């Protein structure tokens, strides 16, 4: 799957403009520790851990890869972990995470700057690795997973949740450009990139997404699919369990507003059909051990 091949920028702009969106205020003019507090509050209500029925962190050395602003990481440290380490590629985010830990008076947590492909840790350093909506963003998922396995202890577990690229909102345009579903199913990524830049310019919107990296399919997205993830995991020869969460699920924040509960059962089986499941999977829920 790679888009149905529509290569008209004007068509893409028309489609995206049917339901335009713009970057939120907390992106444009962030307040001090605002994002860290948002992450923390979400984790108080289950957040990441609810995907795995709240695994125990008690007396564990935990590594949170792609820790964002540190809100979840700090919460993990409060839940009885022996130590928690958060890693982000941006020093700005790491600095805010450290400040949030100081505000919460949490001392068994540390934050470091680095990339998932080159983890700055010794072999067998952690009992648990957590990753929430991160693996779709890394430059090289194979190398990142290999690095996670390297730093994971023999009896340890990696818990990861991330959307497939062809999820209806998997292009991540809904938060700053358009709420129209499946744009990268309908249009080639090259067309979407050009259409996106042109729309921002025509709107006189000064917001710009991060620059495209060589490995990106779209802005900050590596194009990870369900099929590709399965193939990658099989090649790593690790012990894993990959669950496909249905697109209409209680885990989706739109469950109540869109009354998904009334029709979820109709489309739930579609997540088990190859190729079709790329669009009807809400999240890939992955557990990995050595």
Contact criterion met (CB below 8 Å) for 215 and 32: no
Q: Does residue 129 form part of some domain?
A: yes
Residue with tokens 């939120």: 24
**Any idea what the CATH number is for the domain that residue 251 is in?**
3.40.50.150
For 73, the domain range is 25-166+237-289
Using alpha carbons, list the distances in angstroms from residue 263 to 182, 229, 246, 260: 20, 28, 12, 6
Same domain, 61 and 118: yes
> Do residues 76 and 159 share a domain?
yes
Question: Is residue 231 situated within a structural domain?
Answer: no
**Which tokens is 118 given?**
């080159």
44 within 8 A of 75, measured Cβ to Cβ:
yes
Coil, strand or helix: which one is 168? Answer: coil
Residue 230 lies in a domain: no
Name the pairing type of β-strands 109-113 and 83-88: parallel
Using an 8 Å Cβ cutoff, are 74 and 40 in contact? yes
Distances, alpha carbon 78 to alpha carbons 105, 145, 227, in Å:
10, 26, 37
Instruction: State the Cα–Cα distance between residues 242 and 69, nearest whole angstrom.
Output: 27
Same domain, 183 and 264: no
Residue 197 counted as domain residue: yes
pLDDT, position 275: 96
Number of domains in the chain: 2
User: 62 vs 57, 65, 156, 159, 230, CA distance in Å?
Assistant: 7, 10, 10, 11, 25
pLDDT of the chain along its 290 residues, tens only? 655 557 799 999 999 999 999 999 999 999 999 999 999 999 999 899 999 999 999 999 999 999 999 999 999 999 999 999 999 999 999 999 999 999 999 999 999 999 999 999 999 999 999 999 999 999 999 999 999 999 999 999 999 999 999 999 999 999 999 999 999 999 999 999 999 999 999 999 999 999 999 999 999 999 999 999 999 999 998 999 999 999 998 888 778 877 888 989 999 999 999 999 999 999 999 999 98
Contact 145, 122 (CB under 8 A): no
CA atoms within 13 A on the CB side of 285: 15
Judge if 80 and 185 occupy the same domain. no
What's the rounded Cα separation, in Å, for the pair 220 and 147?
20
- Cα separation, 66 vs 137, in Å, equals 9
| Cβ atoms 279, 159 nearer than 8 A | no
Whole-number pLDDT of residue 259: 83
Question: Is residue 128 domain-shared with residue 58, that is, in the same domain?
Answer: yes
Residues 78 and 139 occupy one common structural domain? yes
């Amino acid at each position: 799957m790679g888009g149905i091949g529509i290569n008209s920028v004007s068509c893409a702009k028309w489609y995206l403009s049917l339901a335009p969106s713009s970057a939120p205020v907390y992106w444009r003019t962030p307040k001090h520790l605002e994002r860290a507090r948002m992450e923390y509050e979400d984790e108080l209500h289950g957040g990441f851990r609810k995907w795995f029925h709240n695994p125990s962190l008690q007396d564990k050395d935990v590594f949170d890869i792609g820790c964002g602003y540190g809100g979840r990481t700090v919460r993990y440290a409060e839940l009885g972990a022996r130590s928690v380490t958060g890693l982000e590629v941006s020093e700005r985010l790491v600095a805010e995470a450290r400040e949030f830990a100081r505000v919460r008076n949490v001392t068994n947590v540390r934050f470091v700057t680095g990339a998932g492909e080159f983890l700055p840790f010794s072999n067998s350093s952690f009992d648990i690795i957590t990753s929430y909506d991160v693996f779709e963003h890394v430059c090289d998922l194979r190398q990142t997973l290999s690095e996670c396995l390297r730093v994971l202890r023999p009896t340890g577990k990696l818990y990861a949740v991330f959307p497939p690229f062809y999820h209806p909102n998997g292009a991540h345009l809904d938060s700053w450009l358009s709420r129209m579903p499946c744009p990268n199913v309908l249009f080639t990524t090259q067309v979407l990139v050009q259409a996106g830049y042109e729309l921002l310019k025509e709107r006189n919107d000064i917001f710009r997404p991060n620059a495209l990296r060589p490995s990106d399919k779209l802005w900050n997205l590596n194009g990870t699919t369900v099929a590709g993830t399965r193939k990658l995991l099989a090649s790593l020869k690790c012990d894993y369990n990959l669950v496909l969460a249905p697109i209409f699920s209680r885990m989706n924040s739109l469950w109540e507003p869109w009354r998904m509960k009334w029709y979820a059962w109709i489309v739930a089986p579609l997540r088990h059909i190859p190729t079709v499941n790329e669009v009807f999977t809400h999240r890939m829920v992955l557990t990995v051990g050595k």
